[in-house]
Amino acid sequence: MTMVADLDTSLSPEPAEDKTAQKAEISRGRREFRQHLPALRERFPLVFPEDIKAVKPLHYSVTVAVAQAMGWTFPFARGVVKGYKLSIPYCYAVLRHQERIGPDGEPVEGSTVDDADRFSARCRIAEFARHKKERREREQAQASGVPIPPPDPVPFVPPPIPPTVPADEPDPEPIPPPPVQQAVPTRPKLTLNKAVALPTAVRADVRSITGAAPLRKDRLGR
């Protein structure tokens, strides 16, 4: 078992260092890790083996040891080791092994691979396989001259709309329909279309009344 207490941690980044410069060094190390891999294999043959079947998960102390041995800054060494950890052989090593090794290639006591590490390794392998398939299809399409259709867009699934009525409250009672008003029958209008024949006695009374009316009017006018 490797004990990491004797490692010099003076190369660890200080909180007051420029974060932007650290990120730039880490990114540069990730991009250039392949060109530094032969030197790392020569300096740490058990940590960075050439046989991909001998690759094992690394302890964080390896980054400090690499920075000291290679004369690199800690952010740059961190980027180089990070690029190595993103390689597909290393991802398969995370799925195969449980213990992590230190700078001497021996397992570090108390340092193991957890479920989050294995999940990240599986996602990385799946992403690499997808990019490899797309690259192969693109090369085949370029060779045949057939354009590649764009990938299907991911359908948008709207979030569920919360109910307006809480679940613990009963549903409101339905509003009853208004009562049906019965139609009132209309009375037929009486129209006198024809002249009505009056009896003889009634006609005599009517003539007497119409004839007496001017006399009464003359009296009132006096």
Residue closest to 73 by CA, chosen among 135, 28, 7? 28
Q: Which two tokens stand for residue 107?
A: 């397992």
Query: Domain spans of the chain?
Result: 25-113
Distance CA 222, CA 219 (A): 5
Q: Which helix (H) or strand (E) holds 122?
A: helix 115-144
User: Which CATH code of 3.40.190.10, 1.10.1710.10, 3.30.460.10, 2.60.40.420 fits the domain covering 25-113?
Assistant: 1.10.1710.10
Q: Say what the pLDDT of residue 193 is.
A: 55
Report the C-alpha gap between 115 and 94 in whole angstroms.
10
In tens, the pLDDT along 27-66 reads 999 999 999 999 999 999 999 999 999 999 999 999 999 9
Is residue 87 packed enough to be buried (19+ CB in 10 Å), middle (13-18) or exposed (0-12)? middle
Percent of the chain exceeding pLDDT 90 equals: 49
pLDDT, position 127? 92
Looking at per-residue pLDDT, the higher value among 6 and 114 belongs to 114
pLDDT score recorded for residue 69: 94
Is it the case that residue 6 has pLDDT exceeding 90? no
Does the pLDDT value for residue 196 go beyond 90? no
Whole-model pTM above 0.85? no
Say if residue 166's pLDDT is above 60. Answer: no
Task: Give the model's confidence band at 124: pLDDT under 50 very low, under 70 low, under 90 confident, else very high.
Answer: very high
Bridge pairing between strands 99-101 and 107-112: antiparallel
Query: What are 107's strand-pairing partners?
Result: 101
